[in-house]
């Protein structure tokens, strides 16, 4: 049986908002090029990319992006190469300086931080996992994992102890004395993951961490991230160009195109209600039954509906509902918060599974 | 530029460049027939122009103010005395009698054991053994003290180079602005033929060991700065970014990421600097720097091939030892942190043992005469005499029995290539040559180069040494043509065949570590003193660089492209001429550029063995007081020729590259 695209184990994001969101981004712009700061807020900013480049020599890598991420949420940013997603995640940690807009980390204005404060934040609040790992080839795996703590000034014995724990957590027990180039790509990225986790950050940023890995390893690593999220419950911002990865990992997904946000929503919203043709094209090949919940396929209750069928929650994924619906003679009742919100019959289910349409 | 000539250029640009080039040369030859011998600006050796006399006066004036001028007491003398203190200290350690003793502080035994220890610590057991054998051979050849003088000067220069060069290189690696400022300065320092700045240096730093070390600094510093900066710049960005994202400060990034990752490259820079330093220390014999260079120089001047070979052999051995040890040090940067605990323990034991041995040897060599003076007959050493005699005999035998062969080679090149070219270039009126050079430079390198070339030509006329410069140019061009023929033939072969590469590359590497000086010796033995000897030495000196550049270029052609050409049925010849050479043509142009610079510097050194022209004048300037100014002007003329050739070939390479790109865009 193929693995579900969305793991049933996923920890739901905190829905109750006590305190500020983990990350709040509003009207964020990043323009590369000469006199880049003179573009935002003028009519020039509205130009499409090629025209802007022609007129000003500037490239708007990130255009007017706003979103918030709740504590413990997994927020995925998805887009093709050149869509600005890597620049976006670097703006969130100021590895790239944003041109305008606000980034609030747990309510603190990141752009107002001076260098010292920024370093403090990087050392304690958030950490990043990189596409090309960025490991130090002259250090053992253990020392690579301990690197963030070393930078922070943690004493050697303590940081090595902590790094040892993290190695166990990321499944690299026994590899402490190896050097990065003695490990496979997947294992190297586990080291990168361990290095980020070792500093015990509250937010983890992932910049296409698995796109350099082959598909089977990638699947393993995605499970690893889900497992870690389950165990340590960190807020995660995950960049990817792989829609399947986005759907598997994300509580919510931001789809970017040419630097701008096209759609923000839960996986089933992105698949069930694409914002435009671009997204529709994108999700065309996704097996709908793996993503959509029965909320998307139910029909309104009719007066003549028999009400003796089984009940299912509105958030059950279609594929998981198949057996219940097909084996019942009567249509299945869809219940949300104790109320009957719709009915699902055999035809609706089969339409999704066989014809791939909601 | 007027519209008329711009239009003419545009029309002309439609013709292939090679046609234009050939046309200009044809016109030149036609004009040469009626005009040759006129306005050649010839000047006999003893004749001086007013510029040369003024330079002589300038030297006298500077010598007279030396004692009183604050520029000297506050600047030049300070530098010289500081360098001198370091040099004298190192010399008194290993080469010169000091502190009231008839011998240096450390005798031969101490030096050999300490050098072996250092080689093991920096490298491995193999280079340690090589070092022990190499150092012992200096004594066996009978040149212990001279070798130690050369070593002391080299070490002094290298120490100063590294203390200044590595921090500067790291800084230039971090700062784009410094890098931009430094690059042209380093370019200039490196394109200048080594020979040339010796004379001006003596004006400010006098002659002797200290000025020898200062001249060496100028020559040997650029590689370590350049390569260190390159190493720092090419550290994987992802590692730096990862460090930044974890909150590393700039200093932490430098200490934990940039320098460790660049370390291997930095040690490569150290290797280059050491080799340059050794090469220059031997040449600095011309300004009275002590050591093996002196022996070679004197032997060259008296045409004593045997002695020149014996001392040259010591230089070569020193070069090989220093190169192998620094190369092993570079490889150890990788290997060191991979050593298991067991290997590390074993290494510590060997190091401790060698340390004790070194302490004992130091004590012995300080106390006992047998460990201080290298045993063996004074002057000739244990085997030195036989080596010299054997080489002299061999040389005599070759000149006697193979004279026909060597003469045939010499005459073929002299009459077939050198004489006609020299007649054309040096016997044409100066204005004709200037016009031709300007036109050719425009054709191969574009209009932007014209002002530079015009200025160089004008200044060449002003030096009063036009005809000498043209003779040198002819020799340089002949040698470069041969170098490029060799470079392309052997380079393509190496680029296409792994076996050829594995076979030839070590020889080329070895040839490249040899100091320029040494090349003259065997060819002096074969061909006697003549301009031809200088040309052959220049070819052998420059060929390794050119061959390696072409080979790397051919190797760099993507395998898929070659595969595609082969699969569409190209013959090997077609693959070479239609795919590999065109794609490698940037490397080929670079090879021509480097070949020219190397050849030029060697053609000048050839002045020592009868090459005449500028080289002879530079050498004469050192030894004859009257000719000082003229020698200085000759040095300037060499630099002008170098700048002219270097700028033109570089511009041609850039233009070729841009042309390819434009073609691709369309």
pLDDT along chain A (358 residues), means of 10: 43 55 90 83 82 85 92 92 89 91 91 91 91 88 92 92 91 89 89 91 91 85 88 90 89 91 89 87 82 84 82 84 83 84 84 70
* pLDDT over 80 (residue B136): yes
Q: What is the pLDDT of residue A10?
A: 46
DSSP string, A145-204: HTHHHHHHT--HHHHHHHHHHHHHHTT-TT-TTS-GGGS-HHHHHHHHHHHHHHT--SEE
Q: Which of residues 124-143 of A touch B (CB under 8 A)?
A: 124, 127-128, 130-139
Tell whether A195 is within 8 A of chain B (Cβ).
yes
Looking at chain B, the number of H-run helices and the number of E-run strands are 33, 0
Rounded to the nearest 10°, the torsion over CA B333, B336, B337, B338 is 120
Coil, helix or strand for A23? strand
Q: How many CB pairs under 8 A join A and B?
A: 70
DSSP-H helix ranges across B575-627: 581-583, 585-605, 613-623
Distance in Å, alpha carbon of A350 to nearest chain B alpha carbon? 48
Which of B601, B606, B494 is CA-nearest to residue B549?
B494
User: What φ, ψ does residue A128 adopt, rounded to 5°?
Assistant: -130, 145
Please count the helices (runs of H) and the strands (runs of E) in chain A: 14, 13
Strand partners, A65: A28
Q: How far is CA B401 from CA B309, B396, B416, B523, in A?
A: 20, 8, 24, 16
DSSP for B187-216, please give it: HHHHHS-TTTTHHHHHHHH-SSHHHHHHHH
In this structure, what token pair is assigned to residue A127?
Answer: 């950490």
As a whole number of angstroms, the distance between CA A252 and CA A250 comes to 5
Residue B3's pLDDT is what?
A: 44
Report helix angle B585-605 to B628-665, nearest 10: 180
Instruction: Count CB neighbours of B512 within 10 A.
Output: 15
Query: Rounded to a whole number, what is the distance in Å from the CA of B273 to chain A's nearest CA?
Result: 25
pLDDT at B13 over 70: no
CATH of domain A70-94+113-287: 3.40.50.300
Q: Which of residues 331-360 of B touch A (CB under 8 A)?
A: 337-338
Phi, psi of A240 (to 5 degrees): -155, 160
Identify whether the C-beta of residue B171 lies closer than 8 Å to the C-beta of residue B232: no
Among the partner residues A119, A130, A199, nearest to B241 by beta-carbon distance: A130
Q: Do B241 and A134 touch (CB under 8 A)?
A: yes
Cα distance between residue B46 and residue B179, in whole Å:
45
Structure tokens at A181: 């180039």
Q: Which fold has domain A290-355?
A: CBS-domain (3.10.580)
CA distance B426 to A273: 84
**Cross-chain CB nearest to A138 (options B241, B247, B337):** B337
Residue A75's pLDDT is: 94
Structure tokens at B565: 């050409």
Is the per-residue pLDDT at B121 higher than 50?
yes
ipTM score assigned to the predicted complex: 0.81
Alpha carbon of A120: minimum distance to chain B alpha carbons (Å): 7
- For tokens 């020149």, name the residue: B308
Please name each of the domains of chain B with its CATH number.
Answer: 52-395 (1.10.3720.10), 402-665 (1.10.3720.10)
Predicted confidence (pLDDT) at residue B315 exceeds the cutoff of 70: yes
Task: Answer whether A134 sits within 8 Å of B338, measured CB to CB.
Answer: no
**What mean pLDDT is predicted for residues B552-561?**
86
- Distance to chain B for A221, nearest Cα, Å: 20
pLDDT confidence of B318, banded at 50, 70, 90? very high
- Across the beta sheet with A311-313, the strand order is A311-313, A332-336, A339-344
Distance CA B610, CA B601 (A): 15
The pLDDT of residue B653: 80
Confidence tier at B14 by pLDDT (50, 70, 90): low
Alpha-carbon distance of A349 to A273, in angstroms, equals 18
Q: Is A94 helix (H, G, I), strand (E, B) or coil?
A: coil
pLDDT score of B117: 92
* Chain B neighbors of A119, CB-CB under 8 A: 247-249
* Ramachandran assignment for A67, one of left (phi > 0), alpha (psi -120 to 50 degrees), beta (any other): beta
Q: What is the rounded distance in angstroms from the CA atom of residue B613 to the CA atom of residue B605?
A: 11
Answer yes or no: are the C-beta atoms of A59 and A53 closer than 8 Å.
Answer: yes
Residues of A in contact with B263 (CB under 8 A): 138
Q: For B259, which residue in chain A has the nearest alpha carbon?
A: A138
| Pairwise CA distance, residues B477 & B418, whole Å | 9
CA angle in degrees (0–180, nearest 5) for A222-A224-A229: 100
The answer, for B239 touching chain A at a CB cutoff of 8 Å, is yes
> In which element (H, E) is residue A107 found?
none
Interchain proximity B247–A132, CB inside 8 Å: no
Q: Which residues contact B211 (CB under 8 A, 6 or more apart)?
A: B80, B201, B202, B205, B284, B287, B289
For residue B157, what pLDDT is reported?
94
Q: How does the average pLDDT of chain B come out, rounded?
A: 84
Domains of chain A, by residue range, sit at 70-94+113-287, 290-355
Average pLDDT over residues B268-279: 90
pLDDT, tens only, B459-495: 988 888 888 888 888 888 888 999 999 999 999 999 8
Q: What is the pLDDT of residues B376-416, one digit of tens each?
A: 776 677 777 788 788 888 878 877 777 788 888 888 888 88
Higher pLDDT, B179 or B17: B179
pLDDT tens-digit profile of B213-269?
999 998 899 999 999 999 999 898 889 999 999 989 999 999 999 999 998 899 989
* Sign of the torsion angle spanned by Cα atoms B556, B561, B573, B18: negative
Question: What is the chain A residue with the closest CA to B335?
Answer: A138
């Amino acid at each position: 049986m193929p693995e579900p695209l969305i793991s049933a184990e996923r920890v739901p994001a905190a829905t109750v908002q006590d305190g500020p969101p983990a990350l709040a981004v509003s009207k964020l712009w990043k323009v590369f090029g000469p006199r880049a700061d003179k573009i935002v807020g003028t009519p020039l900013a509205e130009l499409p990319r090629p025209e802007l480049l022609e007129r000003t020599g500037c490239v708007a890598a990130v255009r007017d992006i706003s979103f918030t991420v709740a504590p413990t949420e997994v927020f995925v940013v998805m887009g093709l190469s050149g869509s600005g997603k890597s620049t976006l995640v670097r703006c969130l940690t100021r590895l790239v300086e944003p041109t305008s807009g606000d980034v609030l980390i747990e309510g603190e204005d990141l752009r107002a931080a001076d260098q010292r404060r920024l370093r403090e934040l990087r050392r304690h609040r958030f950490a990043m996992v990189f596409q090309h790992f960025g490991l130090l080839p002259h250090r053992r795996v253990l020392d690579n994992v301990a690197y963030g703590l070393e930078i922070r000034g943690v004493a050697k014995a303590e940081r090595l102890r902590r790094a040892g724990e993290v190695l166990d957590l990321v499944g690299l027990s026994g590899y402490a004395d190896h050097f990065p180039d003695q490990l496979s790509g997947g294992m190297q990225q586990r080291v990168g993951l361990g290095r980020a986790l070792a500093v015990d950050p509250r937010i983890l940023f992932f910049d296409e961490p698995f796109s350099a890995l082959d598909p089977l390893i990638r699947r393993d690593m995605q499970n690893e991230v889900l497992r870690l999220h389950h165990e340590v419950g960190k807020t995660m911002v995950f960049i990817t160009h792989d829609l399947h990865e986005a759907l598997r990992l994300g509580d919510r997904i931001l789809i970017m195109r040419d630097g701008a946000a096209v759609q923000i929503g839960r996986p089933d919203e992105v698949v069930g209600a694409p914002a435009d043709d671009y997204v529709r094209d994108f999700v065309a090949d996704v097996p709908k039954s793996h993503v959509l919940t029965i909320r998307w396929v139910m029909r309104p209750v009719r007066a003549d509906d028999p009400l003796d069928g089984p009940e299912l929650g509105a958030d059950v994924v279609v594929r998981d509902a198949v057996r219940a619906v097909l084996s019942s003679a009567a249509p299945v009742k869809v219940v949300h918060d104790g109320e009957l919100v719709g009915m699902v019959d055999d035809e609706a289910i089969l339409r999704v599974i066989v014809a791939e349409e909601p | 530029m007027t519209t008329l000539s711009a239009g003419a250029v545009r029309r002309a640009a439609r013709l292939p460049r090679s046609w234009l080039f050939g046309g200009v040369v044809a016109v030149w030859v036609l004009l040469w027939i009626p005009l040759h011998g006129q306005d050649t600006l010839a000047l006999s050796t003893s004749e001086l122009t007013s510029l040369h006399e003024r330079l002589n006066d300038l030297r006298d004036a500077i010598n007279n103010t030396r004692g009183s001028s604050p520029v000297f007491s506050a600047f030049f003398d300070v530098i010289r005395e500081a360098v001198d203190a370091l040099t004298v200290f190192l010399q008194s350690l290993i080469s010169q009698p000091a502190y009231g003793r008839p011998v240096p502080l450390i005798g031969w035994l101490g030096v050999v054991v300490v050098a072996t220890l250092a080689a093991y610590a920096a490298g491995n057991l193999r280079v340690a053994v090589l070092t022990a054998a190499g150092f012992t051979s200096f004594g066996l050849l009978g040149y212990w003290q001279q070798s130690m003088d050369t070593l002391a000067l080299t070490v002094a220069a290298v120490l100063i180079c590294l203390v200044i060069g590595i921090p500067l290189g790291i800084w230039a690696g971090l700062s784009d602005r410094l890098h931009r400022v430094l690059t042209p300065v380093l370019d200039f320092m490196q394109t200048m033929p080594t020979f040339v700045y010796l004379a001006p240096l003596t004006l400010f730093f006098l002659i002797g060991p200290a000025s020898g070390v200062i001249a060496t600094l100028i020559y040997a510093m650029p590689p370590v700065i350049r390569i260190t900066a390159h190493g720092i710049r090419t550290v994987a960005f992802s590692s730096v970014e990862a460090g930044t994202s974890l909150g590393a400060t700039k200093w932490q990034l430098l200490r934990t990421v940039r320098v460790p990752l660049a370390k291997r490259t930095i040690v490569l820079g150290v290797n280059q600097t050491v080799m340059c330093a050794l090469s220059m220390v031997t040449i600095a014999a011309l300004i009275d720097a002590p050591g093996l260079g002196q022996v070679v120089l004197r032997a060259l001047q008296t045409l004593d091939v045997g002695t020149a070979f014996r001392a040259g052999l010591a230089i070569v051995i020193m070069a090989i030892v220093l190169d192998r040890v620094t190369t092993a040090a570079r490889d150890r940067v990788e290997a060191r942190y991979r050593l298991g605990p067991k290997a590390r323990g074993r290494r510590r034991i060997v190091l401790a043992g060698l340390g004790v041995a070194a302490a004992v040897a130091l004590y012995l060599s300080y106390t006992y005469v047998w460990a201080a003076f290298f045993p063996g007959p004074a002057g000739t050493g244990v085997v030195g005499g036989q080596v010299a005699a054997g080489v002299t005999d061999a040389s005599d035998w070759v000149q006697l029995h193979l004279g026909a062969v060597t003469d045939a080679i010499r005459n073929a090149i002299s009459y077939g290539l050198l004489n006609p070219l020299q007649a054309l270039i040096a016997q044409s009126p100066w204005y004709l040559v200037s016009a031709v050079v300007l036109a050719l430079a425009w054709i191969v390198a574009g209009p932007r180069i014209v002002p530079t070339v015009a200025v160089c030509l004008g200044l060449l006329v002003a030096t009063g040494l036009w005809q000498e410069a043209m003779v040198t140019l002819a020799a340089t061009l002949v040698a470069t043509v041969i170098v490029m023929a060799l470079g392309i033939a052997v380079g393509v072969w190496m680029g296409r065949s792994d076996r050829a590469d594995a076979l030839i590359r070590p020889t080329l590497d070895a040839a490249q570590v040899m100091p320029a000086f040494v090349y003259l010796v065997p060819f002096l033995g074969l061909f006697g003193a003549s301009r031809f000897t200088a040309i052959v030495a220049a070819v052998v000196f420059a060929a390794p660089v050119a061959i390696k550049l072409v080979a790397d270029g051919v190797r760099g052609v993507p395998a898929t492209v070659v595969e595609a050409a082969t699969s569409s049925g190209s013959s090997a010849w077609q693959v070479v001429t239609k795919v590999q050479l065109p794609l490698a043509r940037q490397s080929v142009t670079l090879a021509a550029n480097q070949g020219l610079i190397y050849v030029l510097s060697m053609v000048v050194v050839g002045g020592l063995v009868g090459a005449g022209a500028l080289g002879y004048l530079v050498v004469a300037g050192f030894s004859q007081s009257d000719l000082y100014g003229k020698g200085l002007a000759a040095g300037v003329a060499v630099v002008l020729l170098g700048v002219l050739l270097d700028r033109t070939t570089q511009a041609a390479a850039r233009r070729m590259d841009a042309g390819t790109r434009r073609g691709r865009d369309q």
